[in-house]
Structure 1
Amino acid sequence: MALKDRLNAITRPIQMIWLSIQLHYNAFKEALRNEGVSSLMNPQRIRDAATSTLFITHSHGFIAYENTTVVPSLVHAAHGKILELGPGPGNQIHRFDPSQVDFIYAIDPNPCYGDEIAARVKKLDLQDKYKLLACGVEDSDILIQEGITEGSMDTVLSIQVLCAVGDVKSVMKAVWKLLKPGGYFIFWEHERNKDAGTALAQACLNSAWSTFLGCSLNRDIKADILAAGEWENPGDIEMAEEPYSCLPRIWGVLKKKA
Protein backbone atom coordinates (compact mmCIF):
# COMPACT_ATOMS: atom_id res chain seq x y z
CA MET A 1 0.00 0.00 0.00
CA ALA A 2 2.82 2.39 0.87
CA LEU A 3 4.49 1.76 -2.50
CA LYS A 4 1.20 2.40 -4.31
CA ASP A 5 0.68 5.65 -2.39
CA ARG A 6 4.22 6.76 -3.15
CA LEU A 7 3.84 6.03 -6.87
CA ASN A 8 0.48 7.84 -7.01
CA ALA A 9 2.02 10.87 -5.33
CA ILE A 10 4.76 10.98 -7.96
CA THR A 11 2.39 10.40 -10.88
CA ARG A 12 0.24 13.45 -10.14
CA PRO A 13 3.07 16.00 -10.53
CA ILE A 14 4.19 14.27 -13.74
CA GLN A 15 0.66 14.66 -15.14
CA MET A 16 0.66 18.35 -14.26
CA ILE A 17 4.08 18.83 -15.88
CA TRP A 18 2.89 17.15 -19.09
CA LEU A 19 -0.26 19.29 -19.19
CA SER A 20 1.80 22.43 -18.72
CA ILE A 21 4.22 21.40 -21.48
CA GLN A 22 1.27 21.15 -23.87
CA LEU A 23 0.00 24.58 -22.83
CA HIS A 24 3.45 26.10 -23.27
CA TYR A 25 3.63 24.64 -26.77
CA ASN A 26 0.20 26.08 -27.61
CA ALA A 27 1.20 29.50 -26.23
CA PHE A 28 4.42 29.35 -28.27
CA LYS A 29 2.50 28.62 -31.48
CA GLU A 30 0.01 31.40 -30.74
CA ALA A 31 2.81 33.90 -30.16
CA LEU A 32 4.48 32.92 -33.43
CA ARG A 33 1.20 33.34 -35.32
CA ASN A 34 0.53 36.75 -33.84
CA GLU A 35 4.00 38.27 -33.65
CA GLY A 36 6.33 36.09 -35.71
CA VAL A 37 9.86 35.30 -34.61
CA SER A 38 10.06 38.56 -32.67
CA SER A 39 7.93 36.84 -30.00
CA LEU A 40 10.96 34.72 -29.13
CA MET A 41 12.58 37.84 -27.69
CA ASN A 42 10.07 37.75 -24.83
CA PRO A 43 9.86 34.15 -23.57
CA GLN A 44 8.42 35.31 -20.24
CA ARG A 45 5.28 36.51 -22.01
CA ILE A 46 4.82 33.02 -23.50
CA ARG A 47 5.34 31.47 -20.08
CA ASP A 48 2.86 33.89 -18.49
CA ALA A 49 0.23 33.02 -21.11
CA ALA A 50 0.70 29.27 -20.65
CA THR A 51 0.74 29.42 -16.86
CA SER A 52 -2.34 31.61 -16.64
CA THR A 53 -4.23 29.31 -19.01
CA LEU A 54 -3.38 26.34 -16.79
CA PHE A 55 -4.50 27.97 -13.55
CA ILE A 56 -7.58 29.67 -14.99
CA THR A 57 -8.77 26.52 -16.78
CA HIS A 58 -8.35 24.36 -13.66
CA SER A 59 -9.36 27.02 -11.16
CA HIS A 60 -12.54 25.24 -10.05
CA GLY A 61 -10.57 22.07 -9.33
CA PHE A 62 -8.06 23.95 -7.20
CA ILE A 63 -10.88 25.71 -5.33
CA ALA A 64 -12.66 22.40 -4.70
CA TYR A 65 -9.49 20.85 -3.30
CA GLU A 66 -8.75 23.86 -1.10
CA ASN A 67 -12.29 23.61 0.27
CA THR A 68 -11.22 20.31 1.88
CA THR A 69 -8.35 22.05 3.69
CA VAL A 70 -7.84 24.92 6.15
CA VAL A 71 -7.59 27.47 3.32
CA PRO A 72 -11.16 28.87 3.59
CA SER A 73 -10.78 29.54 7.32
CA LEU A 74 -7.33 31.07 6.82
CA VAL A 75 -8.53 33.52 4.16
CA HIS A 76 -11.65 34.31 6.18
CA ALA A 77 -9.36 35.47 9.01
CA ALA A 78 -7.75 38.18 6.85
CA HIS A 79 -8.82 41.64 7.98
CA GLY A 80 -8.22 45.37 7.65
CA LYS A 81 -5.83 46.54 4.96
CA ILE A 82 -4.78 43.34 3.17
CA LEU A 83 -1.96 42.55 0.77
CA GLU A 84 -2.55 39.32 -1.15
CA LEU A 85 0.55 37.85 -2.75
CA GLY A 86 0.11 36.09 -6.09
CA PRO A 87 -3.70 35.87 -6.40
CA GLY A 88 -3.46 34.07 -9.76
CA PRO A 89 -6.97 33.89 -11.25
CA GLY A 90 -8.50 35.05 -7.96
CA ASN A 91 -9.32 31.74 -6.28
CA GLN A 92 -9.46 33.35 -2.83
CA ILE A 93 -11.62 36.39 -3.59
CA HIS A 94 -14.90 34.76 -2.57
CA ARG A 95 -13.39 33.61 0.73
CA PHE A 96 -12.70 37.06 2.18
CA ASP A 97 -15.15 38.36 4.77
CA PRO A 98 -16.21 41.76 3.31
CA SER A 99 -17.28 42.98 6.75
CA GLN A 100 -13.69 42.55 7.99
CA VAL A 101 -11.98 44.02 4.92
CA ASP A 102 -11.00 47.67 4.53
CA PHE A 103 -9.18 47.12 1.24
CA ILE A 104 -7.40 44.30 -0.61
CA TYR A 105 -4.32 44.97 -2.71
CA ALA A 106 -3.47 41.92 -4.82
CA ILE A 107 -0.05 41.81 -6.45
CA ASP A 108 0.91 39.44 -9.26
CA PRO A 109 3.63 40.00 -11.89
CA ASN A 110 1.65 37.95 -14.43
CA PRO A 111 -0.67 40.42 -16.23
CA CYS A 112 -2.71 37.66 -17.89
CA TYR A 113 -4.94 37.19 -14.85
CA GLY A 114 -6.41 40.70 -15.05
CA ASP A 115 -9.64 39.95 -16.91
CA GLU A 116 -10.43 36.85 -14.84
CA ILE A 117 -9.90 38.69 -11.56
CA ALA A 118 -11.94 41.68 -12.75
CA ALA A 119 -14.87 39.39 -13.56
CA ARG A 120 -14.75 37.73 -10.12
CA VAL A 121 -14.45 41.03 -8.30
CA LYS A 122 -17.45 42.40 -10.21
CA LYS A 123 -19.50 39.28 -9.51
CA LEU A 124 -18.88 39.70 -5.78
CA ASP A 125 -19.38 43.48 -5.93
CA LEU A 126 -15.94 44.16 -4.46
CA GLN A 127 -14.83 46.80 -6.97
CA ASP A 128 -14.48 49.39 -4.22
CA LYS A 129 -12.41 47.11 -2.01
CA TYR A 130 -10.06 45.26 -4.39
CA LYS A 131 -7.23 46.35 -6.67
CA LEU A 132 -4.86 44.19 -8.72
CA LEU A 133 -1.32 45.45 -9.24
CA ALA A 134 0.83 43.81 -11.93
CA CYS A 135 4.00 43.71 -9.87
CA GLY A 136 5.87 41.81 -7.19
CA VAL A 137 6.50 42.70 -3.58
CA GLU A 138 9.99 43.81 -4.57
CA ASP A 139 8.56 46.57 -6.83
CA SER A 140 8.58 49.11 -4.02
CA ASP A 141 7.98 52.16 -6.24
CA ILE A 142 4.62 50.79 -7.42
CA LEU A 143 3.63 49.77 -3.89
CA ILE A 144 4.56 53.14 -2.42
CA GLN A 145 2.34 54.90 -4.97
CA GLU A 146 -0.57 52.88 -3.58
CA GLY A 147 0.31 53.66 0.03
CA ILE A 148 1.73 50.19 0.65
CA THR A 149 4.66 51.17 2.82
CA GLU A 150 6.54 49.78 5.82
CA GLY A 151 4.21 49.12 8.73
CA SER A 152 1.04 49.82 6.73
CA MET A 153 -0.63 46.41 6.33
CA ASP A 154 -2.89 44.64 8.79
CA THR A 155 -2.68 41.32 6.93
CA VAL A 156 -0.47 39.77 4.27
CA LEU A 157 -1.94 36.63 2.66
CA SER A 158 0.08 34.01 0.80
CA ILE A 159 -1.65 30.91 -0.57
CA GLN A 160 0.88 28.74 -2.42
CA VAL A 161 2.98 31.66 -3.59
CA LEU A 162 6.37 31.46 -1.85
CA CYS A 163 7.22 28.39 -3.91
CA ALA A 164 7.14 30.60 -7.03
CA VAL A 165 8.99 33.76 -6.01
CA GLY A 166 12.60 34.30 -7.01
CA ASP A 167 14.02 34.71 -3.50
CA VAL A 168 11.87 33.62 -0.57
CA LYS A 169 14.14 35.23 2.01
CA SER A 170 13.97 38.70 0.47
CA VAL A 171 10.21 38.44 -0.16
CA MET A 172 9.56 37.44 3.44
CA LYS A 173 11.75 40.23 4.79
CA ALA A 174 9.70 42.66 2.68
CA VAL A 175 6.46 41.11 3.96
CA TRP A 176 7.57 41.46 7.57
CA LYS A 177 8.45 45.13 7.04
CA LEU A 178 5.11 45.90 5.38
CA LEU A 179 3.13 44.48 8.30
CA LYS A 180 2.08 46.70 11.16
CA PRO A 181 3.35 45.69 14.60
CA GLY A 182 0.78 43.09 15.60
CA GLY A 183 -0.16 42.50 11.96
CA TYR A 184 -0.76 38.99 10.63
CA PHE A 185 0.99 36.91 7.99
CA ILE A 186 -1.45 34.22 6.89
CA PHE A 187 -0.10 31.43 4.69
CA TRP A 188 -0.67 27.98 3.24
CA GLU A 189 2.38 26.74 1.35
CA HIS A 190 4.20 23.58 0.35
CA GLU A 191 7.83 22.69 0.91
CA ARG A 192 10.44 19.95 0.92
CA ASN A 193 9.13 16.71 2.40
CA LYS A 194 10.79 15.36 5.53
CA ASP A 195 10.50 11.83 4.12
CA ALA A 196 13.82 10.98 2.45
CA GLY A 197 12.28 9.00 -0.41
CA THR A 198 9.75 11.68 -1.26
CA ALA A 199 12.38 14.39 -0.96
CA LEU A 200 14.45 12.51 -3.55
CA ALA A 201 11.43 12.35 -5.87
CA GLN A 202 10.91 16.09 -5.40
CA ALA A 203 14.54 16.75 -6.30
CA CYS A 204 14.24 14.65 -9.46
CA LEU A 205 11.02 16.35 -10.57
CA ASN A 206 11.93 19.88 -9.56
CA SER A 207 13.73 20.98 -12.71
CA ALA A 208 10.78 20.17 -14.99
CA TRP A 209 8.23 21.33 -12.40
CA SER A 210 9.87 24.71 -11.87
CA THR A 211 10.34 25.22 -15.62
CA PHE A 212 6.75 24.47 -16.63
CA LEU A 213 4.72 25.13 -13.45
CA GLY A 214 6.76 28.10 -12.28
CA CYS A 215 7.45 27.04 -8.71
CA SER A 216 9.86 24.95 -6.66
CA LEU A 217 8.95 21.63 -5.04
CA ASN A 218 11.67 21.46 -2.42
CA ARG A 219 12.21 24.76 -0.67
CA ASP A 220 12.49 25.10 3.10
CA ILE A 221 9.65 27.61 3.28
CA LYS A 222 9.18 27.39 7.04
CA ALA A 223 12.77 28.39 7.77
CA ASP A 224 12.57 31.41 5.47
CA ILE A 225 9.29 32.56 7.03
CA LEU A 226 10.69 32.34 10.54
CA ALA A 227 13.91 34.11 9.56
CA ALA A 228 12.08 37.15 8.15
CA GLY A 229 11.77 38.89 11.52
CA GLU A 230 10.41 38.46 15.02
CA TRP A 231 7.04 36.73 15.35
CA GLU A 232 5.01 36.46 18.54
CA ASN A 233 3.87 32.88 17.87
CA PRO A 234 6.41 30.99 15.75
CA GLY A 235 5.34 27.70 17.31
CA ASP A 236 1.86 27.97 15.79
CA ILE A 237 2.96 26.86 12.33
CA GLU A 238 1.23 23.58 11.46
CA MET A 239 2.38 20.89 9.06
CA ALA A 240 0.31 18.12 7.49
CA GLU A 241 1.42 14.51 7.88
CA GLU A 242 1.93 13.73 4.18
CA PRO A 243 5.03 11.52 3.89
CA TYR A 244 4.31 10.57 0.29
CA SER A 245 3.17 13.95 -1.05
CA CYS A 246 5.39 15.99 -3.34
CA LEU A 247 3.40 19.02 -2.15
CA PRO A 248 3.28 18.67 1.66
CA ARG A 249 1.49 21.68 3.14
CA ILE A 250 2.40 23.95 6.01
CA TRP A 251 0.22 26.81 7.24
CA GLY A 252 -0.22 29.34 9.95
CA VAL A 253 -1.33 32.77 11.14
CA LEU A 254 1.80 34.49 12.43
CA LYS A 255 1.65 37.73 14.37
CA LYS A 256 4.41 40.30 13.89
CA LYS A 257 6.03 41.09 17.21
CA ALA A 258 5.12 44.57 18.40
Structure 2
Amino acid sequence: MRAHPRANVSGGIARAVRSVSDAAWAAGYDLVCGHADRGEGAAHRRALVATASGVVCELGVGTGRNLSWYGGVAKVVGVDPSPATLARARRRALHAGIETELLVARAEALPLPDQSVDTVVASLVLCTVGSPAEALAEARRVLAPDGQLLFYEHVRDRDPRVAARQARLTPAWRRLARGCHLDRDALGEVVSAGFVVDALMEAPLDRAPGVLRRHLIGRVSLPT
Protein backbone atom coordinates (compact mmCIF):
# COMPACT_ATOMS: atom_id res chain seq x y z
CA MET A 1 0.00 0.00 0.00
CA ARG A 2 1.30 3.44 -0.93
CA ALA A 3 1.81 5.93 1.89
CA HIS A 4 -0.52 8.90 1.89
CA PRO A 5 1.21 12.08 0.57
CA ARG A 6 0.42 13.90 3.81
CA ALA A 7 2.12 11.14 5.79
CA ASN A 8 5.22 11.51 3.62
CA VAL A 9 5.23 15.28 4.12
CA SER A 10 4.69 14.93 7.88
CA GLY A 11 7.49 12.39 8.11
CA GLY A 12 9.82 14.65 6.16
CA ILE A 13 9.03 17.61 8.40
CA ALA A 14 9.62 15.50 11.52
CA ARG A 15 12.99 14.34 10.19
CA ALA A 16 13.97 17.91 9.33
CA VAL A 17 13.03 19.12 12.81
CA ARG A 18 15.04 16.31 14.41
CA SER A 19 18.02 17.15 12.19
CA VAL A 20 17.92 20.85 13.12
CA SER A 21 17.47 19.97 16.79
CA ASP A 22 20.42 17.56 16.62
CA ALA A 23 22.64 20.18 14.97
CA ALA A 24 21.66 22.79 17.56
CA TRP A 25 22.40 20.33 20.35
CA ALA A 26 25.83 19.53 18.88
CA ALA A 27 26.71 23.22 18.63
CA GLY A 28 25.52 23.90 22.17
CA TYR A 29 27.36 20.85 23.49
CA ASP A 30 30.61 22.04 21.95
CA LEU A 31 30.10 25.53 23.38
CA VAL A 32 29.47 24.24 26.91
CA CYS A 33 32.33 21.75 26.75
CA GLY A 34 34.69 24.42 25.45
CA HIS A 35 33.88 26.56 28.47
CA ALA A 36 34.22 23.60 30.86
CA ASP A 37 37.55 22.60 29.33
CA ARG A 38 39.10 25.82 30.64
CA GLY A 39 38.89 24.21 34.08
CA GLU A 40 39.99 20.83 35.41
CA GLY A 41 37.73 18.77 33.14
CA ALA A 42 40.07 18.76 30.16
CA ALA A 43 43.05 17.74 32.30
CA HIS A 44 41.05 14.89 33.82
CA ARG A 45 39.93 13.57 30.43
CA ARG A 46 43.42 13.95 28.97
CA ALA A 47 44.84 11.90 31.85
CA LEU A 48 42.18 9.26 31.29
CA VAL A 49 42.70 8.68 27.57
CA ALA A 50 46.49 8.82 27.90
CA THR A 51 46.29 5.36 29.49
CA ALA A 52 44.34 3.84 26.59
CA SER A 53 46.10 1.27 24.43
CA GLY A 54 45.56 -0.94 21.41
CA VAL A 55 42.23 -0.72 19.60
CA VAL A 56 39.96 1.70 21.49
CA CYS A 57 36.19 2.04 21.50
CA GLU A 58 35.00 5.37 22.91
CA LEU A 59 31.37 5.29 23.98
CA GLY A 60 29.48 8.52 23.37
CA VAL A 61 32.39 10.09 21.52
CA GLY A 62 30.27 13.20 20.96
CA THR A 63 32.03 15.92 18.99
CA GLY A 64 35.41 14.20 19.37
CA ARG A 65 36.94 16.46 21.98
CA ASN A 66 39.11 13.59 23.30
CA LEU A 67 40.47 12.42 19.95
CA SER A 68 43.61 14.55 19.87
CA TRP A 69 44.69 13.22 23.29
CA TYR A 70 45.03 9.56 22.33
CA GLY A 71 48.67 8.74 21.88
CA GLY A 72 50.17 5.49 20.65
CA VAL A 73 46.89 3.62 20.19
CA ALA A 74 46.27 1.43 17.16
CA LYS A 75 42.84 2.86 16.33
CA VAL A 76 39.88 4.66 17.91
CA VAL A 77 36.35 3.55 17.10
CA GLY A 78 33.99 6.26 18.32
CA VAL A 79 30.27 5.60 18.66
CA ASP A 80 27.49 8.11 19.25
CA PRO A 81 23.75 8.14 18.48
CA SER A 82 23.87 11.73 17.16
CA PRO A 83 24.81 12.24 13.48
CA ALA A 84 25.37 15.97 14.07
CA THR A 85 27.87 15.47 16.88
CA LEU A 86 29.68 12.85 14.80
CA ALA A 87 29.93 15.33 11.92
CA ARG A 88 31.88 17.61 14.24
CA ALA A 89 33.93 14.65 15.48
CA ARG A 90 34.89 13.79 11.90
CA ARG A 91 36.32 17.27 11.42
CA ARG A 92 38.38 16.88 14.59
CA ALA A 93 39.49 13.39 13.55
CA LEU A 94 41.19 14.86 10.47
CA HIS A 95 43.72 16.55 12.75
CA ALA A 96 43.97 13.92 15.51
CA GLY A 97 46.89 12.03 14.00
CA ILE A 98 45.34 8.61 14.67
CA GLU A 99 43.25 6.13 12.72
CA THR A 100 39.60 6.68 13.56
CA GLU A 101 36.27 5.12 12.68
CA LEU A 102 33.14 6.99 13.74
CA LEU A 103 29.82 5.16 13.84
CA VAL A 104 26.24 6.22 14.52
CA ALA A 105 25.32 3.75 17.25
CA ARG A 106 24.16 3.47 20.84
CA ALA A 107 26.43 2.26 23.62
CA GLU A 108 23.79 -0.35 24.43
CA ALA A 109 24.12 -1.92 20.95
CA LEU A 110 27.71 -1.68 19.74
CA PRO A 111 28.23 -2.69 16.08
CA LEU A 112 31.50 -4.45 16.94
CA PRO A 113 32.53 -8.12 17.15
CA ASP A 114 33.10 -9.91 20.43
CA GLN A 115 36.54 -9.40 22.03
CA SER A 116 37.57 -6.96 19.30
CA VAL A 117 38.92 -4.01 21.33
CA ASP A 118 41.60 -3.55 23.96
CA THR A 119 40.23 -0.44 25.68
CA VAL A 120 36.72 0.90 26.14
CA VAL A 121 36.49 4.56 27.17
CA ALA A 122 33.39 6.03 28.84
CA SER A 123 33.87 9.77 29.33
CA LEU A 124 30.80 11.50 30.76
CA VAL A 125 28.49 8.98 29.11
CA LEU A 126 27.25 6.55 31.79
CA CYS A 127 25.26 9.47 33.19
CA THR A 128 23.31 9.71 29.94
CA VAL A 129 22.87 6.29 28.35
CA GLY A 130 19.38 4.84 28.56
CA SER A 131 20.63 1.72 30.31
CA PRO A 132 24.06 1.73 31.98
CA ALA A 133 23.72 -2.01 32.62
CA GLU A 134 23.22 -2.73 28.91
CA ALA A 135 26.04 -0.39 27.88
CA LEU A 136 28.44 -2.02 30.33
CA ALA A 137 27.37 -5.49 29.20
CA GLU A 138 28.25 -4.44 25.66
CA ALA A 139 31.60 -3.11 26.88
CA ARG A 140 32.31 -6.51 28.43
CA ARG A 141 31.32 -8.26 25.22
CA VAL A 142 33.62 -6.29 22.91
CA LEU A 143 36.61 -6.20 25.28
CA ALA A 144 39.47 -8.65 24.81
CA PRO A 145 40.03 -10.89 27.87
CA ASP A 146 42.96 -8.73 29.00
CA GLY A 147 41.25 -5.46 28.05
CA GLN A 148 40.37 -2.45 30.20
CA LEU A 149 37.48 -0.05 30.69
CA LEU A 150 38.46 3.54 31.49
CA PHE A 151 35.79 5.86 32.82
CA TYR A 152 35.45 9.50 33.85
CA GLU A 153 32.01 10.32 35.22
CA HIS A 154 30.18 12.81 37.40
CA VAL A 155 28.41 10.85 40.12
CA ARG A 156 26.06 11.00 43.07
CA ASP A 157 27.61 13.06 45.86
CA ARG A 158 28.57 11.49 49.18
CA ASP A 159 27.04 14.41 51.07
CA PRO A 160 23.38 13.40 51.59
CA ARG A 161 22.21 17.01 51.26
CA VAL A 162 23.89 17.42 47.88
CA ALA A 163 22.67 13.99 46.79
CA ALA A 164 19.11 15.01 47.69
CA ARG A 165 19.46 18.15 45.54
CA GLN A 166 20.78 16.03 42.68
CA ALA A 167 17.75 13.74 42.94
CA ARG A 168 15.34 16.70 42.98
CA LEU A 169 16.96 18.38 39.97
CA THR A 170 17.52 15.30 37.81
CA PRO A 171 14.03 15.14 36.20
CA ALA A 172 14.37 18.70 34.84
CA TRP A 173 18.08 18.27 34.10
CA ARG A 174 17.38 15.16 32.03
CA ARG A 175 15.08 17.15 29.75
CA LEU A 176 17.63 19.94 29.32
CA ALA A 177 20.68 17.71 28.88
CA ARG A 178 19.38 14.89 26.70
CA GLY A 179 18.95 12.27 29.39
CA CYS A 180 21.86 13.18 31.66
CA HIS A 181 21.32 12.11 35.29
CA LEU A 182 22.93 14.10 38.08
CA ASP A 183 22.53 11.31 40.62
CA ARG A 184 23.77 8.10 39.02
CA ASP A 185 26.20 5.81 40.83
CA ALA A 186 28.61 5.07 37.98
CA LEU A 187 31.02 3.09 40.14
CA GLY A 188 28.20 0.94 41.49
CA GLU A 189 26.99 0.29 37.95
CA VAL A 190 30.49 -0.73 36.83
CA VAL A 191 30.96 -3.10 39.76
CA SER A 192 27.47 -4.57 39.30
CA ALA A 193 28.38 -5.28 35.67
CA GLY A 194 31.12 -7.61 36.91
CA PHE A 195 34.22 -5.48 36.37
CA VAL A 196 37.17 -5.55 38.77
CA VAL A 197 38.38 -2.15 40.00
CA ASP A 198 42.11 -1.72 39.34
CA ALA A 199 42.43 2.02 40.02
CA LEU A 200 40.07 4.73 41.23
CA MET A 201 40.56 8.43 41.91
CA GLU A 202 38.35 11.28 43.04
CA ALA A 203 38.56 14.07 40.45
CA PRO A 204 36.32 16.91 41.65
CA LEU A 205 35.57 19.99 39.57
CA ASP A 206 36.15 22.58 42.26
CA ARG A 207 34.59 25.46 40.32
CA ALA A 208 31.47 23.55 39.28
CA PRO A 209 28.09 23.81 41.04
CA GLY A 210 27.79 21.39 43.95
CA VAL A 211 25.47 19.02 42.09
CA LEU A 212 28.12 18.60 39.35
CA ARG A 213 31.26 18.73 41.45
CA ARG A 214 32.02 15.10 42.27
CA HIS A 215 33.71 13.15 39.47
CA LEU A 216 35.53 9.82 39.44
CA ILE A 217 38.32 8.52 37.21
CA GLY A 218 38.65 4.75 37.13
CA ARG A 219 40.28 1.82 35.40
CA VAL A 220 38.58 -1.56 35.60
CA SER A 221 39.15 -4.92 33.96
CA LEU A 222 37.44 -8.23 33.39
CA PRO A 223 37.65 -10.88 36.12
CA THR A 224 40.23 -13.60 35.49
Partner of 2:186: 221
- Over 3 Å counting, the alpha-carbon distance change for 1:41 and 1:230 in structure 2 is closer
Which runs of structure 2 are paired with 1:26-175 in the superposition (5 Å)? 39-40=13-14, 45=19, 47-66=21-40, 69-97=43-71, 100-126=72-98, 129-140=99-110, 143=111, 148-175=112-139
More strand as a share of residues: 2
How far is the alpha carbon of 1:41 from its aligned partner?
A: 7.3
Secondary structure (helix, strand or coil) at the match of 2:38 reads helix
The structure, 1 or 2, with the larger RCO (C-alpha pairs under 8 Å, 6+ apart) is 1
Distance in structure 1 (CA, Å) of the matches to 2:18 and 2:126: 19
How far is the alpha carbon of 1:123 from its aligned partner?
A: 2.1
Letter in structure 2 aligned against 1:225: V
Q: Would you say the 8 A contact 2:109–2:135 is kept in 1?
A: no
Post-superposition CA distance 1:173-207 (Å, at most 9, x none)? 11112111121100100111121111121122111
- Over 3 Å counting, the alpha-carbon distance change for 1:48 and 1:228 in structure 2 is same
Q: Would you say the 8 A contact 1:59–1:89 is kept in 2?
A: no
Distance in structure 2 (CA, Å) of the matches to 1:60 and 1:230: 32
Q: Would you say the 8 A contact 1:162–1:189 is kept in 2?
A: yes
- Number of aligned residue pairs: 212
Distance in structure 1 (CA, Å) of the matches to 2:40 and 2:53: 20
How far is the alpha carbon of 1:138 from its aligned partner?
A: 2.8
Q: Would you say the 8 A contact 2:198–2:219 is kept in 1?
A: no
Distance in structure 1 (CA, Å) of the matches to 2:184 and 2:95: 36
Q: TM-score, normalised by structure 1?
A: 0.73
Q: Would you say the 8 A contact 2:68–2:95 is kept in 1?
A: no
Distance in structure 1 (CA, Å) of the matches to 2:100 and 2:138: 21
- Over 3 Å counting, the alpha-carbon distance change for 1:121 and 1:42 in structure 2 is closer
More helix as a share of residues: 1
Unaligned runs of 5+ in 1: 1-34
State the superposition RMSD in angstroms: 2.5
Secondary structure (helix, strand or coil) at the match of 1:101 reads coil
Identical residues among aligned pairs (%)? 25
How far is the alpha carbon of 1:37 from its aligned partner?
A: 9.4
Distance in structure 2 (CA, Å) of the matches to 1:78 and 1:161: 17
Partner of 2:3: none
In the alignment, structure 1 residue 238 sits paired with structure 2 residue 210: no
Unaligned runs of 5+ in 2: 1-8
Q: Would you say the 8 A contact 1:182–1:257 is kept in 2?
A: no
How far is the alpha carbon of 1:242 from its aligned partner?
A: 7.5
Equivalent position to 1:194, from 146, 158, 170 = 158
- Over 3 Å counting, the alpha-carbon distance change for 1:43 and 1:216 in structure 2 is farther
Q: Would you say the 8 A contact 2:80–2:86 is kept in 1?
A: no
Partner of 1:18: none
Letter in structure 1 aligned against 2:96: L
How far is the alpha carbon of 1:84 from its aligned partner?
A: 0.3
